[in-house]
Structure 1
Amino acid sequence: MNATLTKEKAVTGPEITDRHRRRRLFLVLLSRYGTLVGLAAMIVVFSIRSPTTFLTLPNFLNILNQSSLTAIIAAGLTMTLVVGEFDLSIGYVASFAGLLVVGFIARDSLPVLIGVPLVLLIGAAIGTTSGFLVTKVRINAVIATLGVGTILTGVGFAYSAFPIAAGVPAEFIQISLGKLLVGIPNPIIIMIVVLAILWIILNRTDLGQKMQAVGGNIEAARLSGIRVDRVKIFAFATAGVCAALTGILLSSLLGSGTLAAADGYLLDAFAAVFLGSATLRDGEFHIVGTLVGVLIIAVGFNGLSIFGAPTFFQPIFKGAILVLAVGLSTLARRYAKA
């Protein structure tokens, strides 16, 4: 009898090991490619259900155009998350920048070629201020950026308590509504350029390697001679510029400057970035993943709109897909390492 038990153990032992290895491989693949599979599945389902509406080039361009502003502001947020910090001011910065640029151009009669770069510089200055408060004054990033955003709301009301719509030149409106290359809307081109620049910075420059080192292990980065504070301030400044650019494009699209118009981009950006962290890498923030996260949300919204779903389904979809994707990714990584 003992010999029989020993023989059974010898047989079942390798089988258990192989089963564990297969499960581990499956969970690793799920953690890295689950969001891509989900995006592809949505595209297939929507294409089958509505091939003449969803599966068309104009609709795909529409999806990219609608997601371009979210992608830009989310890419800036990605930079701060890469270095291990949060920036809750980006929505406020975008709203403030949108109001400011229209005020400069329409009310103060500044040329578009001066007003737009000036507001981008102001966005960089706001981000730098947040970075300074976090790194030098040692204020928690959540508190510092939330405080900066609240201050911007007050300053915006002081600048103009009412929307600015009169006197907006067509030249400014064409920034978002114009098309430069073979019918591709300008926001898509701007999005591609911004994401390409940030990807190169993060993956092909010494500064990008330092940013990833700071986010990976701040003490080891400091001991290796990296100027951690400067790296973090650069990340916050980049987020400020991207947020300001988003606000400018939104105001150009709306044809007016309205305070709080871009506040909703905060949640969209965080949802996209955290969805993206579950793509291709094990919980790491990166630009390609952020773009995938943005597209998942945009494709979902587009499909729901085509099928006539009520508007309240959009926030439900956004929250549910964020929780599901990140939750599955976290569980997959946990069991894959077991």
Structure 2
Amino acid sequence: MSQVHTESSPTRMAPRGGASRAPFQWARFAESFALVGALLILFAIFGILKPQAFLSWANISTMLGSQAVLVLLTLALIIPLTAGDFDLSIAATLTMSAMTIAVLNAQMGIPLAGAVAVAIAIGAIIGCVNAGFILYFRIPSLIVTLGTGTFINGLVLWISNSNTISGIDPFLVTYVVVTRVFGIPLAFYYALGLCILLWYFFGFTAAGRRLLFVGRGREVARLSGIPVDRVRFAALVCSGVLSAITGMMYAGTIGAADPNSGNTFLLPAFAAAFLGATSITPGRFNAWGSLVAVYFLVIGITGLTMLGIDTFVQNLFYGGALVLAVALSQLVRKREAQDFS
């Protein structure tokens, strides 16, 4: 009887397994690249409605270059998010970095390289402070980073006297950020380079795998021998450093430091991070998904603005995208958990 069972069960199981695998692969492919398809459709719609303005190379290159700061900040954000921690201080760190460069370089005459080094060091300190409160006192990251972000905003207003500071070394503006290669500002290539670096880090390094493992389940990771607190500490410090570097890029983009405008990046960065988690590698914060999400949002806002919609559409678009993206990412996570079980 056992021999009959062994011979007959493969013939029964093979067609059933073959029939179930193909639709699943197509469904996963469609899910992974749905946002890419939506971006292309949105681009085509606005291109048809406003061909001369929207499809002009000036508009396309402006969208690619001007939103590089948002891409960089979103990529900084997904590092602690992957480890399961929120960092609401990223926009404040960006603003502090830009203002530090402006004060040291434009007002105090310190060379640009020294001002940038101090700004990056401040970003690392902010990351260490966040990590210290979160890991030592076991306070939720949402509360800690909300508090530190608000505190940093107060410091920025204090050191700037609530004024915009201009006069930053033109080298940062002209040669580091705004210079165009193939008609596209260098800032876009920096964002693309960081995207490739994080994609490699998450997918092909042991440290990246440990970060993903910690985000999936801290207790399981700890029992597996992973130094969970050390990994979370490193993720928060990296977030602070990358946010500070993004602040340098932002200062180079506008040629000055504004004590308030940097804070407007917080909601778009979270919207892009969670929306990106539904694309390319669904259910996981990932670099390519974040890049696609940023430009999906930017194309939508730019196109609607060109159609004459009032500026409030930006808040509607980013706010709605954040809520929808969080809902979709939760659905993806639940489905993956069911598939795993």
Shorter-chain TM range is 0.7 to 0.9
1:121 is aligned to 121
Shift in alpha-carbon separation, 1:22–1:193, aligned structure 2, 3 A: closer
Q: Does 1:214 align with 2:214?
A: yes
Q: How far has the Cα of 1:175 moved from its partner?
A: 5.2
User: In 2, distance between residues paired with 1:176 and 1:315?
Assistant: 31
Secondary structure of the corresponding residue to residue 128 of structure 2: helix
Structure-to-structure mapping, 1:11-90, within 5 angstroms: 28=28, 31-90=31-90
2:4 is aligned to none
Q: Does 1:171 align with 2:171?
A: yes
User: In 2, distance between residues paired with 1:157 and 1:120?
Assistant: 19
2:309 is aligned to 309
Please list the CA deviations of residues 145-196 of structure 1 after superposition, one character each: whole Å capped at 9, or x if unmatched. Answer: 1121122122223322232535433223325653153332121122122222
Structure 2: tracts of 5 or more residues without a match = 1-19
1:299 is aligned to 299
Please list the CA deviations of residues 263-306 of structure 1 after superposition, one character each: whole Å capped at 9, or x if unmatched. Answer: 11110100000000111333211111111111111111121122
How high is the TM-score relative to the length of structure 1?
0.86
Secondary structure of the corresponding residue to residue 278 of structure 1: coil
1:283 is aligned to 283
Contact 2:276 2:292 survives alignment (8 Å)? yes
1:271 is aligned to 271
1:203 is aligned to 203
Shift in alpha-carbon separation, 1:24–1:65, aligned structure 2, 3 A: same
Q: Does 1:183 align with 2:183?
A: yes
User: In 2, distance between residues paired with 1:26 and 1:176?
Assistant: 43
Paired letter, 1:149: G
Paired letter, 1:70: L
Please list the CA deviations of residues 44-76 of structure 1 after superposition, one character each: whole Å capped at 9, or x if unmatched. Answer: 211222233322433222111122111100001
Structure 1: tracts of 5 or more residues without a match = 1-19
User: In 2, distance between residues paired with 1:332 and 1:236?
Assistant: 25
Structure-to-structure mapping, 1:118-267, within 5 angstroms: 118-174=118-174, 178-179=178-179, 181-267=181-267
1:93 is aligned to 93
Between the two structures, name the one with larger relative contact order (CA 8 Å, sep ≥ 6): 1
User: In 2, distance between residues paired with 1:207 and 1:21?
Assistant: 32
Contact 2:267 2:319 survives alignment (8 Å)? no
Shift in alpha-carbon separation, 1:149–1:332, aligned structure 2, 3 A: closer
Q: How far has the Cα of 1:94 moved from its partner?
A: 0.9
Paired letter, 2:227: R
Residue identity over aligned pairs, in percent, reads: 30
Shift in alpha-carbon separation, 1:331–1:235, aligned structure 2, 3 A: closer
Contact 2:177 2:249 survives alignment (8 Å)? no
CA-based RMSD of the aligned residues comes to 2.7
Contact 1:28 1:332 survives alignment (8 Å)? no
How high is the TM-score relative to the length of structure 2?
0.85
Moved more, 169-178 or 263-272: 169-178
User: In 1, distance between residues paired with 2:143 and 2:327?
Assistant: 26
Q: How far has the Cα of 1:331 moved from its partner?
A: 4.9
Q: How far has the Cα of 1:26 moved from its partner?
A: 7.6
Shift in alpha-carbon separation, 1:190–1:333, aligned structure 2, 3 A: closer
User: Paired residues, what number?
Assistant: 322
